[in-house]
């Protein structure tokens, strides 16, 4: 049997899947975070994440030292040093290591050209044309950018709350929802928590739910924040499509990340702004989780053809393991 390996690595976990040429997943394994290799202890963490996730997948598959036809790794912060480490761990005829944006794109386009807008804790737009050329916009992090991300939405929501408390702005439903989220009675208590370093960036990003919930209930301040966030995400996507001269094409644009679970309050302004310049853009959501897309790309990179049956087998195999 021919074995293929797909790995998805990011800020919280690393997942490895082993499958055959038909997309049947034989083994699934999970490890720790595998990004930020240049930070202190980063190489060790990356190595342990790959060893742990791969070891779990090999064990579940009941294999002993398999040699893969192809291995594809989609890793946040991908670099040459990661590839060198991976080659010392993974036995494969070919090993490909690329950034996680390509996995997000493949999750939505199934290996075809197109664009993806990623909006989770951070935000970035990424596209690939038929020639395999790529472009990205955004991804500058919480301090320099990340417009439309969960962190940006939360920050804008907090700013609206300070204005409401001061009388510099209108009252907003965001305030009680944010206070409830952080478990405090007033904004001054939250101010002390944030500036004393007791609240992490991911915790702040989680407060985006207060903005999104308020918008869904019709709060005008929250709706305006979501409108601006959706338009900023569309502008980032327009930028990458123009860089690759894809603006005249019928192009798939994937929406990837937790922010989009809010629905129309974010997606409607994004769609309207995007279609002003690219009327042929077709929005879609992920058809496979990232580790499934990694396996798909491993098969494709080795010359395998992507078919509906292959995609269905990967999806069904992951669903059986509680992944969809």
Give the per-residue SS3 of 180-217. HHHCCCCHHHHHHHHHCCCCCHHHHHHCHHHHHHHHHC
**Model pLDDT, residue 43:** 87
**Model pLDDT, residue 313:** 93
Q: Is the pTM of this model over 0.85?
A: yes
**Model pLDDT, residue 318:** 86
| 174 within 8 A of 157, measured Cβ to Cβ | yes
CB atoms within 10 A of CB 155: 19
Sequence-ordered list of residues with C-beta below 8 angstroms from that of 214, at least 6 positions apart, any chain = 157, 172, 173, 174, 177, 221, 222
Q: Which residues of 6-20 are buried (b: 16+ CB within 10 A; e: fewer)?
A: bbbbbeeebbbbbbb
Tell me the CATH architecture of domain 111-286. 2-Layer Sandwich (3.30)
**Model pLDDT, residue 179:** 97
CA dihedral 144, 148, 149, 150 (to 10 degrees): 120
| Tokens 């930070």 sit on residue | 39
**Fold match flag (4-100+287-320 vs 111-286):** yes
| 211 within 8 A of 153, measured Cβ to Cβ | yes
**Model pLDDT, residue 323:** 56
Q: For residues 222 and 173, what is the distance between their CA atoms, to the nearest angstrom? A: 8
Three-class secondary structure of residue 250 per DSSP: coil
CB atoms within 10 A of CB 133: 13
Residues in the chain, total: 324
Residue 49 Cα distances to 89, 90, 165, 311, angstroms: 11, 12, 45, 26
Please work out, in degrees rounded to the nearest 5, the angle formed at the alpha carbon of residue 12 by the alpha carbons of 7 and 17: 20
Average pLDDT per 10 consecutive residues for the chain, totaling 324 residues: 92 91 93 79 88 94 93 88 92 92 93 94 93 92 90 97 95 96 94 91 93 96 97 97 92 95 95 93 94 95 91 88 58
Domain extents in the chain: 4-100+287-320, 111-286
Give all strands (DSSP E) within 120-214, no chain letters: 123-128, 134-138
CATH fold group of domain 4-100+287-320: Nucleotidyltransferase; domain 5 (3.30.420)
H or E segment to which residue 252 belongs: strand 252-256
Pull the structure tokens for residue 212: 């999104």
């Amino acid at each position: 049997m021919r074995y293929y390996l797909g790995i998805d690595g990011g800020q919280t976990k690393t997942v490895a899947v082993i499958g055959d040429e038909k997309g049947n997943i034989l083994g699934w394994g999970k490890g720790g975070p595998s990004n930020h290799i240049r930070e202190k202890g980063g190489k060790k963490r990356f190595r342990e994440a790959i060893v742990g996730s791969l070891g779990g997948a090999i064990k579940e598959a009941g294999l002993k030292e398999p040699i893969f036809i192809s291995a594809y790794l989609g890793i946040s912060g991908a670099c040459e040093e990661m590839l060198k480490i991976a080659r010392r761990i993974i036995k494969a005829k070919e090993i490909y290591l690329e950034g996680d944006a390509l996995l997000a794109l493949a999750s939505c386009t199934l290996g075809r050209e197109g664009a993806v807008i990623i909006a989770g804790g951070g935000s970035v737009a990424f596209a690939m044309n038929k020639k395999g050329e790529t472009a990205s916009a955004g991804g500058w992090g919480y301090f320099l950018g990340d417009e439309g991300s969960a962190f940006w939405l939360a920050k804008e929501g907090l700013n609206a709350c300070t204005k409401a408390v001061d009388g510099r702005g209108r009252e907003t439903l965001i305030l009680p929802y944010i206070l409830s989220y952080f478990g405090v009675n007033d904004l001054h208590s939250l101010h002390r928590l944030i500036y004393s370093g007791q609240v992490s960036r991911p915790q702040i990003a989680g407060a985006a739910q207060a903005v999104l919930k308020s918008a869904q209930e019709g709060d005008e301040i929250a709706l305006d924040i979501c409108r601006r966030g959706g338009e900023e995400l569309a502008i980032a996507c327009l930028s990458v499509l123009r860089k690759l001269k894809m603006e005249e094409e019928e192009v798939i644009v994937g929406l990837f990340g937790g922010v989009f679970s809010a629905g129309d309050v974010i997606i409607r302004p994004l769609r309207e702004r995007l279609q002003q310049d690219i009327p042929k853009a077709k929005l879609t959501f992920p058809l496979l989780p990232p580790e499934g897309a990694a396996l798909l790309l491993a098969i494709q990179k080795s010359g395998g053809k992507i078919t509906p049956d292959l995609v269905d087998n990967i999806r069904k195999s992951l669903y059986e393991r509680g992944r969809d």
